[in-house]
Amino acid sequence: MHDDLIQLLRHREAVIADHAWRDRDAAGQLAALREVSEKISAWAEARQPQIDPRLRHYLANSSFAKALSHCETANGA
């Protein structure tokens, strides 16, 4: 369930966690963060009617860590 979203959310976390990248190229890291965040928003918009209300709430409020936890729990991860 929502494996593509999980991948996007994990990628976003990896971008944020890459402190060496931030120190070396803050603008590049910010651009990558913006790009993956836009992909997450587009994913949610395209699937609005199919996703459960709690996940929709997390995504609408940019609570991406909660969204990832919700998806992983639903997947049994």
pLDDT digits (tens, 9 = 90+) for 22-76: 999 999 999 999 999 999 999 999 999 999 999 999 999 999 999 999 999 987 7
Q: What angle do CA 46, 52, 56 make, to 5 degrees?
A: 60
pLDDT of residue 75: 78
Tokens of 33: 């963060």
Give Cβ neighbours of residue 1 (< 8 Å, ≥ 6 apart). 71, 74, 75
pLDDT of residue 76: 73
Amino acid occupying residue 52: D
